[in-house]
């Protein structure tokens, strides 16, 4: 041992890993990691806890809601104080200007700087109302929320002194001197009145608001300013020809309007506004997926001056005692609702739809009681009104209890095939949305039902004005949906679909595309998927549109039966059946011409997205991303719809990525607010997602658009 150094033996590297079930790891015992139960737990006669650590989340939604309410109350108190201070200043300075300046406002043909639909003017109220809070992803130009004082601006001196060089005028100023415009009640009754205005409603823009039940002689303020439209007679005649040749043919219900309608100023301005937007919509298209500069259909002056005149005329000349005038005003309200649909304002459409409810609910459609013959156009307007009501049900958030509200006319929807399929489709859509949204919440006495928790979570996550308003109204289901209720509704919807399909004629049914190239959509070198047969209809796109709703309803019911059905319920389905319905839906959408305005919020984009998310695996998602979207882009889509297709593509990529990670996203919705700019692709918004872990629990999350 003298001079020799001892050589230390090298220790063997021991790799310590955290494996084993939770019970064995807690007791520091060796685990054989058997599936589904390890042998250690079996020998000790205890239930194996599994291999993934459970995560418990602390529910702080109640505290957050209370803090939000206090914040909103303080915020609106400050805004009202500011309004009162500015109002006193305006009253001191406006008396001289009103006596020296004629009340005439000229609208310029271009008003690109206006952002009126993003503004809100508050109605007087002492109760705190939910203040619009901008999302963290909101664009300061597109989704801004302006305080109530900024929508009633004083007229600049330069504008009063000179009428030769007028600056662009915000259309919100047209009705600013009128104190008679107020926020309507958002109740679900078929009529509303200015005296029953809800005080907790958020501020709304007076320039796009209709109070149909307000008599014209209750004006307590100054007279309404005259609106001068600078469209030439030749321009108006061209717009009317465009309306008769292009717009009328695209309505869900064929309509004809006689000379008496054209002589009505309100109806004339309404169709001029709609026709001008339609003309801009059809003149700008994209082929091969090439994007151009986004349209500013709503915030530009395209038809906006005619729209404001129609709203003003409808308010001033409304006379419910005259059935002919009421018919013309109902037609005008319908045209204004279509205008809001095509310019991307769901809340504006909702307001006009509620006003149309008020008009038609007060009109006696039976001629026996009055001795007056019902005008010939009224049945067409009535049917279009019923279709519009189903659109309102379709885009309502799934947690809203008012989304499935019915009236006396819904019981007779089965008598008309167009109404029957929309009634069944929207009920199935709302049922599926409610199941997917409520699945990630557990009802409790403290937090309430799953629908209430979903409403509060979406409000706090998306920060949208519509969700803030819905929660403030208590517009959510109090009871959580059950499996038995889902099965009962599926059974009833299935009978309705069977009846509707049995009445189809041969030309109303799909046929595989014949001639003109390959009738199948196949993978072009990318991810492989099963070929999609392109389906066409002899009856045109309107029949394809209705059949699309039928197939989507079948797909939704098939998915719900895989969750809640079984042999014991005599209602069963399998994931392959759901995937088969999805491929049929893809074929119908690929065969449609995406070049016409549908005048409906029901669109192929949401339907194919629904199909991809309800199917298992990534096969249907690959077919959507690699097949359907490129095929539709190659055929051309209008520029105003291009952004929606891009949102669909981005959302589909997120769904596919998460599905490969074991997270099945079943529902996804954009955080865009109700006054978003249609046709503009906003990269600062996000996706709210609800899904499951392959049957081992549910999740909800917020995904940014860029990742």
Per residue in 637-687, pLDDT (tens digit) is: 887 788 899 999 999 999 999 999 999 999 999 998 877 777 788 888 999
Find out whether 136 and 143 touch, Cβ atoms under 8 Å. Answer: no
Among residues 356, 378, 395, the one where a domain terminates is 395
Structure tokens at 199: 């005080």
pLDDT in tens, 9-29: 665 555 445 678 888 888 888
> What mean pLDDT do residues 199-206 have?
33
Q: In this structure, how many other beta carbons lie within 10 angstroms of the beta carbon of residue 404?
A: 16
Q: What is the pLDDT of residue 689?
A: 96
> What mean pLDDT do residues 34-45 have?
86
Query: How many whole angstroms separate alpha carbon 193 and alpha carbon 181?
Result: 12
- Coil, helix or strand at residue 58: coil
| Residue 352 domain boundaries | 57-395
Among residues 376, 395, 414, the one where a domain terminates is 395
| 192, part of any domain | yes
- Check whether 188 has a pLDDT greater than 50: no
350 & 212 share domain: yes
Alpha carbon of 316 to those of 77, 213, 292, 312: distances in Å?
33, 11, 41, 6
516 & 557 share domain: yes
Q: What is the pLDDT of residue 588?
A: 96
CATH of residue 40: 4.10.240.10
- Check whether 272 has a pLDDT greater than 80: yes
Q: What is the pLDDT of residue 187?
A: 35
Percent of the chain exceeding pLDDT 70 equals: 69
Q: In this structure, how many other beta carbons lie within 10 angstroms of the beta carbon of residue 274?
A: 30
- Check whether 197 has a pLDDT greater than 60: no
- Check whether 400 has a pLDDT greater than 60: yes
Q: What is the pLDDT of residue 176?
A: 33
224 & 308 share domain: yes
> What mean pLDDT do residues 324-330 have?
84
Query: How many whole angstroms separate alpha carbon 667 and alpha carbon 672?
Result: 16
Question: What sign results for the dihedral spanned by CA atoms 336, 337, 338, 342?
Answer: positive
522 & 669 share domain: yes
In this structure, of 48-62, 400-414, 686-700, the range with the lowest mean pLDDT score is 48-62
Give the residue among 538, 646, 528 at the shortest CA–CA distance from 591. 538
| 4, part of any domain | no
pLDDT in tens, 587-608: 999 999 877 657 899 999 999 9
Query: How many whole angstroms separate alpha carbon 353 and alpha carbon 212?
Result: 11
Query: How many whole angstroms separate alpha carbon 692 and alpha carbon 701?
Result: 11
In this structure, of 87-101, 255-269, 333-347, 557-571, the range with the lowest mean pLDDT score is 87-101
Structure tokens at 511: 């046929």
| 2, part of any domain | no
Q: For residue 43, what pLDDT band results from cuts at 50, 70 and 90? A: confident
| 636, part of any domain | yes
Query: How many whole angstroms separate alpha carbon 489 and alpha carbon 611?
Result: 20
109 & 38 share domain: no
| 408, part of any domain | no
Q: What is the pLDDT of residue 123?
A: 36
Q: What is the mean pLDDT of the chain?
A: 75
Q: For residue 111, what pLDDT band results from cuts at 50, 70 and 90? A: very low
- The structural domain count of the chain equals 3
117 & 242 share domain: yes
Question: What sign results for the dihedral spanned by CA atoms 523, 527, 529, 533?
Answer: negative
27 & 133 share domain: no
- Coil, helix or strand at residue 106: strand
pTM over 0.75: no
Query: How many whole angstroms separate alpha carbon 674 and alpha carbon 671?
Result: 9
| 495, part of any domain | yes
Query: How many whole angstroms separate alpha carbon 700 and alpha carbon 454?
Result: 10
DSSP result, 408-445: TTGGGGGGSHHHHHHHHHHHHHHHHHHHHHHTT---BT
What is the three-state SS of 151-199? HCCCCCHHHHHCCCCCCCCCHHHCCCCCCCCCCCCCCCCCCCCHHHCCC
489 & 520 share domain: yes
329 & 458 share domain: no
Find out whether 194 and 213 touch, Cβ atoms under 8 Å. Answer: yes
- Coil, helix or strand at residue 45: coil
Instruction: Provide the 8-state DSSP code for 532.
Output: E
Cα atoms in the Cβ-side hemisphere of radius 13 Å centred on 614: 35
Q: Which of 10-24, 256-270, 688-702 has the highest mean pLDDT?
A: 688-702
251 & 291 share domain: yes
Among residues 9, 32, 54, the one where a domain terminates is 54
Q: For residue 95, what pLDDT band results from cuts at 50, 70 and 90? A: very low
pLDDT in tens, 607-636: 999 999 999 999 999 999 999 999 999 988
Q: What is the pLDDT of residue 513?
A: 84
| 354, part of any domain | yes
| 418, part of any domain | no
Matching residue, tokens 């009681």: 369
Q: What is the pLDDT of residue 296?
A: 52
191 & 269 share domain: yes
In this structure, of 152-161, 213-222, 256-265, 443-452, the range with the lowest mean pLDDT score is 152-161
Find out whether 552 and 425 touch, Cβ atoms under 8 Å. Answer: yes
pLDDT in tens, 451-499: 999 999 999 999 999 999 999 999 999 999 999 999 999 999 999 999 9
Structure tokens at 514: 């014949």
323 & 366 share domain: yes
C-alpha angle with apex 209: 205 to 213, nearest 5 degrees?
145
């Amino acid at each position: 041992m003298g001079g020799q150094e001892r050589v230390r033996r090298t220790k063997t590297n021991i790799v310590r890993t955290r494996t084993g079930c939770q019970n064995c790891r807690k007791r520091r015992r060796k685990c054989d990691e058997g599936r589904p139960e390890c042998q250690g737990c079996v020998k000790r006669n205890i239930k194996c806890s599994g291999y993934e650590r459970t995560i418990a989340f602390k529910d702080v939604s109640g505290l957050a809601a209370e803090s939000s309410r206090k914040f909103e109350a303080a915020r609106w108190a400050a805004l009202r104080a500011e309004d009162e201070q500015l109002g006193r200043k305006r009253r001191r300075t406006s008396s001289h200007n009103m006596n020296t300046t004629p009340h005439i406002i000229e609208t310029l043909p271009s008003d690109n700087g206006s952002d009126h639909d993003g503004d809100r003017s508050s109605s007087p109220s002492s109760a705190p109302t939910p203040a619009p809070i901008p999302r963290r992803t909101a664009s300061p130009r597109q989704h801004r929320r302006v305080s109530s004082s900024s929508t009633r601006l004083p007229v600049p001196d330069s504008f009063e002194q000179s009428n030769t060089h007028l600056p662009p005028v915000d259309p919100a100023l047209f009705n600013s001197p009128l104190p008679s415009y107020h926020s309507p009640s958002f109740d679900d009754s078929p009529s509303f009145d200015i005296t029953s205005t809800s005080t907790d409603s958020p501020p709304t823009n007076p320039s796009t608001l209709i109070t149909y039940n307000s008599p014209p002689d209750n004006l307590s303020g100054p007279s309404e300013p005259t609106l001068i439209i600078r469209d030439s007679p030749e321009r108006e005649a061209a717009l009317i020809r465009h309306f008769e040749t292009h717009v009328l043919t695209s309505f869900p219900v064929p309509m004809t309007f006689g000379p008496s309608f054209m002589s009505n100023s309100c109806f004339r301005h309404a169709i001029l506004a709609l026709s001008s937007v339609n003309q801009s919509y059809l003149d700008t298209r994209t082929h091969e997926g090439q994007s151009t500069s986004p349209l500013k259909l709503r915030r530009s002056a395209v038809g906006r001056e005619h729209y404001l005149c129609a709203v003003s005329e409808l308010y001033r000349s409304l006379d419910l005692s005259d059935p002919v005038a009421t018919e013309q005003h109902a037609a005008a309200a319908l045209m204004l609702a279509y205008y809001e649909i095509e310019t991307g304002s769901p809340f504006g459409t909702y307001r006009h739809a509620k006003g149309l409810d008020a008009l038609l609910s007060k009109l006696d459609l039976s001629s026996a009681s009055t001795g007056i013959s019902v005008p010939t156009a009224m049945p067409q307007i009535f049917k279009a009104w019923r279709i519009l009501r189903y659109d309102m049900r379709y885009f309502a958030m799934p947690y809203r209890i008012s989304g499935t509200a019915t009236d006396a006319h819904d019981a007779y929807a089965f008598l008309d095939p167009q109404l029957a399929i929309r009634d069944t489709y929207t009920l199935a859509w709302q049922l599926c949305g409610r199941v997917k949204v409520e699945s990630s919440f557990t009802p409790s006495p403290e937090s309430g039902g799953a629908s209430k928790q979903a409403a509060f979570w979406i409000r706090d996550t998306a920060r949208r004005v519509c969700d803030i308003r819905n929660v403030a109204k208590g517009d959510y289901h109090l009871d959580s949906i059950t499996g038995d209720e889902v099965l009962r509704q599926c059974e009833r919807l299935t009978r309705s679909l069977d009846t509707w399909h049995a009445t189809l004629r041969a030309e109303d049914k799909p046929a595989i595309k014949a001639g003109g190239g390959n009738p199948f959509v196949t993978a072009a070198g990318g991810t492989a998927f099963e070929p999609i047969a392109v389906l066409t209809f002899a009856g045109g796109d309107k029949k394809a549109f209705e059949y699309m709703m039928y197939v989507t309803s079948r797909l939704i019911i098939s998915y719900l039966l895989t969750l809640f059905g079984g042999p014991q319920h005599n209602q069963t389905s399998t994931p392959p059946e759901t995937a088969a319905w999805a491929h049929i839906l893809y074929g119908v959408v690929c065969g449609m011409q995406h070049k016409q305005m549908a005048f409906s919020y029901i669109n192929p984009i949401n339907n194919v997205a629904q199909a991809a998310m309800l199917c298992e695996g990534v096969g249907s998602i690959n077919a959507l991303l690699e097949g359907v979207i490129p095929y539709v882009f190659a055929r051309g889509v209008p520029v105003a719809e291009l952004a929606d297709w891009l949102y669909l593509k981005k959302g589909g990529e997120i769904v596919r990525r998460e599905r490969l990670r074991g997270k099945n996203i079943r529902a996804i919705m954009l955080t865009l607010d109700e006054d978003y700019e249609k046709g503009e692709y906003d990269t600062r918004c996000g996706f709210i997602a609800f899904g499951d872990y392959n049957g081992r629990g549910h999740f909800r999350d917020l995904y940014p658009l860029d990742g």
